[in-house]
Amino acid sequence: MERFQRQIILQGIGISGQQKLKASRVLVVGAGGLGCAVLPYLAAAGIGKIGIVDGDKIEESNLHRQILYSTEQVGLYKTSEAAQDLVKKNPGLEVLVFEEFLTAKNAAEIFSDFDLIIDATDNLFIRYVIDDTCIACGKPFVYGSIHQFQGQVSVFNFEGGPTYRDIFPEDNKSAPNCAEAGVLGTTVGLIGMLQANEAMKIILGIGEVLSGKLLIYNLLNNTQQVFEFGNVPKPKKPHISESFEIISPEEALLGDSILLDVRELGELPEVSLETVLHIPLSTLEKEFSSLDKSAEIRIFCQSGIRSRKAADLLARKGFEKLKLIRGGAKDLLNADRSRKTEKTSF
């Protein structure tokens, strides 16, 4: 127990608390900026089993804030690289790697082996998937979010407490992600550590958990605010969002399927590929009849939020061959450029 001696002597932890940490099973969804801050502290504290879900690969633009990775690891999967680093920090740790993106289809199965879920994503839709699945499975989840120099932390579905939908009831809000709004490495570092702290408080049964409270921290002026919120009446069974297959931009360009751009007119970058059909989400309800129900329709927008809503709408209209393109218009254009470069290379 020498490794954990300094935390064992803390009042409220002791050997029994360390045993609780060892017996705990924590799933971290996302191995990006927040995940890279959450994961090392969980591993170093003596958590017995950690799961990591992420289908992304390391990019050079990640390195200024995702401190688990180095230049030599660019192009490798984040989950496996993070797992190797965590085991070095704590050889007694068991790490389960899920080299895939979380979806409404696979969430319940992945969550089943864990007691606590930590949201370290940068995706609004996935937060609703996490929330709905945690409600259905009876598991708490620790939430963290970043916007430029500001971060938020809360705990949802803890001992019957409020859920994510209680404070953020609508999933049609358009909010920029880190790639669009920018982010400072220290911001994700601080918020990620606060998430890890909430997780350990839950496991140890100590302190005051941020259930029913939203902590907002501003790193520019070192101010913090805590907003309280409560449960909102909801149906007995939580709504699980429609499940659609998510394909890569590279896969989306294969075949003769319709590529449906549901962004508004004038949004950049412009995607003028031969198979692209442009119908803004705001007019899709009126114009859906122009689409062929027998054709496979692959939908994209700027970041994935509106494409999900478009797929839900079309599914209600009887369309069955619907797929979502991961990422957004920029990713699709990059995939098209790469494909053209490969064809001209020799």
The model's pLDDT over 283-300, given as tens digits with 9 standing for 90+, comes to 999 999 999 999 999 999
Same-domain status, 286 and 190: no
Is the same domain home to 94 and 168?
yes
Whether 196 and 320 map to the same domain: the answer is: no
Q: Looking at the 3D structure of the chain, how many domains does it have?
A: 2
| Residue 175 pLDDT level (bands cut at 50, 70, 90) | low
Q: Could you read off the pLDDT of 8-18 as tens digits, one per residue?
A: 999 889 999 99
Q: What angle do CA 164, 100, 107 make, to 5 degrees?
A: 40
On whether the CB atoms of residues 48 and 94 are closer than 8 A, the answer is yes
Distance CA 7, CA 201 (A): 13
CA–CA separation, 26 vs 18, rounded Å?
15
Structural domain including 35 reads 2-228
Residue 285 falls inside a structural domain: yes
pLDDT digits (tens, 9 = 90+) for 293-340: 999 999 999 877 788 889 989 998 999 999 999 888 888 888 888 887
Do 203 and 334 lie in one domain? The reply is no
Rounded (to 5) percent helix, strand, coil in the chain: 40, 20, 40
Which of the four pLDDT bands, split at 50, 70 and 90, describes residue 238? Answer: very low
Q: Are 117 and 130 a contacting pair, CB within 8 Å? A: yes
**What average pLDDT does this structure show over 210-231?**
91
Residues 6+ apart with CB under 8 A from 119: 29, 30, 126, 127, 130, 141, 142, 143, 144
Q: Is the same domain home to 78 and 24?
A: yes
Q: Are 39 and 68 in contact (CB under 8 A)?
A: yes
With H, G, I as helix, E, B as strand and everything else as coil, classify residue 237: coil
**What local confidence, expressed as pLDDT, does residue 215 receive?**
94
Same domain assignment for residues 27 and 123: yes
